[in-house]
Amino acid sequence: MFKYFNPNKVFFITSKAPKYVLILFIIVFTIGLIESLILSPEDYKQSHSVRIMYVHVPAAWITLGIFSTITLFSVFGYIFKNPNFFLISKSLAPSGFIFNIIALVTGSIWGKPTWGTWWAWDARITSMLILALFYGIYLLAWRIYQTQDQAFKVTTIITILGIINIPIIKYSVDWWNTLHQPASINILSKSSIHESMLFPLIIMTAAFALFSLLIFLMKYNTELIKIKNKGLDRL
Amino acid sequence: MIIELINMNGYGLYVWSAFAFTLLSFTLLYAVTKIQYVKEKKKFASKFGTLNSEKASFARSQSINRAILSNISNI
């Protein structure tokens, strides 16, 4: 199965894909912006400030998804001794980190008109901040540890420790008394959000996912070329 | 209508700054990633150029190296 993850074969696709992903991202993002800023209705309580949700929520979803994927690939990479899995994890991290920062900053901006404060040590916000720290440590570990084996080991430990935080983020609104409201969107049961707001949210999530795919592909190609550069030195 | 869109019932500053921050973050991340990508490609091309014919033909025998070289023209 792992032969499909062979970088030599994958590079043909990953080197050509970014331009198509970029075009698709621009189209979907433009539709998402029109929907979220112009066409979607204002909230009866929060008025137009609800529009911040269309960047805040997708960013939070994507950053959680990326960290979970990084952990999965790191653990599998460590178990199956597959360096390409680590390359995938490393290439995913920058976009995950940026989405985490976007979620924190836009959440802070949303907090001011909604709760009357830019920041609160609320369980959801604090656990998201901890996730940002894990992303930061993870990215730093790749810079600090030059030996491949050491970097693989340390980054896997960081992701395993960090993944404990993911269910805490998800259920923090249920476990503790927080400023955040409980989830409005449920996959298994009926969502409490109206369709007119759900549609732009889905479009923006798709746009954000495409952007993270674009950054991942570019970063993955860069890492592959870096390896090949070292290979040329050894010739 | 445009003033209404900018003002957003007094929430314009919050909404627009949140979207602007997102756009700025996207642009910066894309630019940094692109610069690193182009830099590595150029490094590869210049290193390849310094190889003697025997080493160059060996390096060229690897399909990924050929793919990188063909990609460099697209920078």
How many Å apart are CA A68 and CA A187, to the nearest integer? 18
For chain B, the domain total comes to 1
Taking contacts as CB-CB distances below 8 angstroms, the residues of chain A near B14 are 49, 52, 109-110, 112-113
CB atoms inside a 10 Å sphere around CB A79:
10
Taking contacts as CB-CB distances below 8 angstroms, the residues of chain B near A213 are none
Q: Is the pLDDT of residue B75 over 50?
A: no
pLDDT at B57: 80
pTM reported for the whole predicted model: 0.91
**Domain enclosing residue B51, as ranges:** 2-72
Which residue matches tokens 């921050």?
A: B21
Whether the CB-CB separation of B21 and A198 falls below 8 Å is answered with no
The DSSP line for A35-55 is: IIIIISPPBTTTBGGGGGHHH
Residue ranges per domain, chain A?
51-234
- Spans of chain A, pLDDT less than 70: 1-5, 187-188, 235
| Residues B18, A55: C-beta atoms closer than 8 Å | yes
How many Å apart are CA A74 and CA A82, to the nearest integer? 9
For chain B, say whether A108 makes contact (Cβ under 8 Å).
no
pLDDT at A44: 87
Dihedral pair phi/psi, residue A104, rounded to 5°: -70, -45
Give pLDDT tens digits for B26-68.
999 999 999 999 999 998 888 887 878 777 787 777 777 777 7
pLDDT at A127: 95
How many Å apart are CA A100 and CA B9, to the nearest integer? 28
Give me the percent of chain A exceeding a pLDDT of 90. 70
Taking contacts as CB-CB distances below 8 angstroms, the residues of chain B near A135 are none
User: Is the torsion defined by CA of A95, A99, A102, A104 positive or negative?
Assistant: negative
